[in-house]
Structure formats: C-alpha cells, structure tokens
Homo-oligomer: A and B are copies of this chain.
Amino acid sequence: MAEPRAATIDGKLAEEFAVPSHAEEAREEMAAFAGRHGAMGRRVVLITSGGTKVPLESRTVRFLDNFSSGRRGASSAEYFIESGYAVIFLHRHRSLYPYTRTYSHVNLLDTLQLQGEGGSSSSGQVVVNQQALPNIAKVLKRYQEVKEAGLLLPIEFSTLSEYLHLLKAAAQALSAIGSKAMFYLAAAVSDFYIPAPEMPEHKIQSSNGPLQISMKMVPKILSPLVKDWAPQAFVISFKLETDHSILLDKARRALDTYRHQAVVANVLDTRRGYVVVVTPETQAELILTDEDVKNEVEIEEKIVSNLTAAHGQFITQQLG
C-alpha cells in the first residue's frame, strides 16, 4: 500500500521541484552525523525551522513567503541539546539561529568598541560592549562547547523545493537510527506552489494589467515520511492557525490522516505563551504563567520537555 504513495510523491518531487545543488552533500553530512551520535546511544532530532520561499518566476524576482522568524525552531534546538539530543537544524537561510537568536535585532557595529584609540586604530583590539549584548560571555561559552562537541548540524534551505528535497534526504539519513530519531517539523511550509514547468521564465510585466496567480497544492510530504522514509521515527508536526475555533479539530484530523505521534497546535496571536500538544490518546495544554514570564522561561522549554518524555516512552514501547 505504501509503495505507490511514495512513488507518486517521489515522481512529483523529481518533476516539479528543482533539486538543490547541495542536496547530496547535505545527505552525506546528515547520515554521518546520525550514525556518529546513534552509535554513542544518543537520540537525534531533526528540527525544521523558518518559512519557505515559493518563486513565481524561474529567474526569480517575485516569490510567495510564509511569515516565520524561526524563533520556535531556534530556541527549541537549544533545549533539545540541553536534554541530551544531537540536533540537525534544517532552517531557512537567515532565519533565527540557536544561541545567536537573542542578538538578531541589534546592529553589530553598535555593540563594538575600539580599544587603544590613541595610535593607529587598526592595531588595537575591537571589544564587545557587554551592556549591548546581555549575557554574551555566557552564551558564547555555551555556543563554543556545543560546537566543540559537534552536537549541532546546520543545513540551510530557502525555497520550498530545497526544503522538500532536504527533508526527504534527512528522513532517509535518520532512518538508520530507527526510533531514536525525532522529527520536529516546526517550519512554516507553503501549502501552495507553481510547478517548475509552468513557471514563466522572465519577470511578470505589470504593463499586462492585474495579476492572476494560480497555485497548486503542495504534496503532503508527511505521508511518505511517516509511512516509508523513516517509519520507526517519532514524528511531530506543527499546526499554526489564526482562528482558534478550528485548531484542535485540524490537529486531530492531521493525526488521523498521517498516523504520526504528535501535533503541536498553536494560534498566531498567542503562540509564545500557549500551545496544545495533541497525541492520538492525549491532549496537553502548555501555558506560560506570569511567574514563568517574569523568570524568562520560554514555552519551548515546556514543549521540548513534554516531547522528550514522550519520545522516551515511544522508544521503550518499540523495544518492548
């Protein structure tokens, strides 16, 4: 039953979505990373993060995009590492990145100072003003430890095509470690696209009058991922809606359709303080209290704590 479904999507991927030039290299890196950590008994999570770009022209001037800073993916990556996971961070180019994420809004040059101004400035040191980058020494130390330990593998995408091909490559790379792999699919992936063969080559001319865009629905890659590419893995998808009333229903329907392990459901306006983790049997509301906010607790800490516990149970069940 699974064969034709995967074959269909594989065919679509090959025909209608251009393969990124770094797909093969990324696949090898991810396989080596999963193998190395798997051999040490460490769990590995693939986090997807940020929005996807959907070009409207093949020499792209215009594109459709999804609102996403990548904050949830970037902060979750840190909490997964603190929980003992190794992280493959499949993220949109220039979206927020673990550890640097808290400094993304500052202008680098506003945070630096020249030291030894007397003589030639180029011989002096350039020093960080630690008021302008709070906690920088602590964050830098942790970043360097994580890098040293090889616990974070960053892979970049920009377009929907790149995302889809790289996610498939990641799933195949992680299938080698079975139930020790988690997929944490937090990226904001476009539901619509224009197939490569139907795309105009040149910039759409405004002199031709108002614009009519007709877009096809993106194939649901969660289906072959769960059924064929990484059938033993623990898979979490995300649902973001602006309308609260349809949220939980959509989350339950996704679980029914794709048969994966959990959906993290959230509403645009409240997403930083409230999510619901929905599984086939359970439904857990995670909430930031006023106390949490005062203590700078982030909701991603609670999400990751909930899911790593569930992943532990899942692994035990699979072995049992």
Residues from chain B with a CB closer than 8 A to the CB of A141 are 114, 121
Nearest chain B residue, comparing its CB with the CB of A192 = B211
Q: Does A97 contact B (CB under 8 A)?
A: yes
A78-111 contacts to B, CB under 8 A, are 94, 97, 99-100, 103, 107-109
A216 is an interface residue with CB less than 8 A from chain B = yes
B140 engages A112 (CB within 8 Å):
yes
Q: How far is the CB of A241 from chain B (nearest CB, A)?
A: 6
Known contacts A130-B126, A139-B109: does B66 contact A62 (CB below 8 Å)?
yes
> How many A residues have CB within 8 A of the partner chain?
64
Interchain CA distance A124-B66 in the complex, whole Å: 41
Q: Assess the A210–B206 pair: CB atoms within 8 A.
A: no
Using a CB-CB cutoff of 8 Å, which residues 268-285 of chain A contact chain B? 268-269
* Given A64-B64, A213-B215, A243-B203, CB of A114 within 8 Å of CB of B126: no
**Given A112-B140, A128-B112, A242 and B65 contact (CB-CB distance below 8 Å):** no
Contacts of A238 in B (CB 8 A): none
For the complex formed, measure the closest distance between the CB of A101 and the CB atoms of chain B, giving whole angstroms. Answer: 10
Q: Are B188 and A143 in contact (CB under 8 A)?
A: no
The answer to whether A210 touches B203 (Cβ under 8 A) is no
The residue on B at minimum CB distance from A125 is: B127
User: A97–B107 Cα gap in the complex (Å)?
Assistant: 9
CB proximity of A203 to chain B, nearest CB, Å: 5
Q: CB distance B125 to A140 under 8 Å?
A: no
Q: How far is the CB of A289 from chain B (nearest CB, A)?
A: 26
A197 at the interface (CB under 8 A from B): no
Could you say which of A14-22, A37-45, A53-61 contacts chain B? A53-61
- Tell me which residues across on chain B come within 8 A of A63, comparing CB atoms: 64-67
A202 at interface, CB cutoff 8 A: yes
Could you tell me the distance between the alpha carbons of A68 and B148 in the complex, rounded to whole angstroms? 35
How far is B216's CA from A139's CA once the two chains are assembled, in angstroms?
47
Cβ of A295 within 8 Å of any chain B Cβ, yes or no, is: no
Please give, as numbers and ranges, the residues of chain B lying within 8 Å of A214 by CB-CB distance: 210-213
Q: Are B137 and A114 in contact (CB under 8 A)?
A: yes
A221 at the interface (CB under 8 A from B): no
Interface membership of A153, Cβ < 8 A? no
| A residues 179-225 touching B (CB-CB < 8 Å) | 188, 190-192, 201-204, 206, 209-218
Question: Is A138 engaged at the interface, CB distance under 8 Å to the other chain?
Answer: yes
8 A–B pairs (Cβ distance < 8 Å), ordered by A: A59-B269, A62-B66, A63-B65, A64-B65, A112-B140, A202-B242, A202-B243, A211-B215
- Shortest 8 CB-CB distances between A and B: which pairs? A191-B206, A126-B128, A213-B213, A211-B215, A59-B242, A192-B211, A109-B143, A122-B137
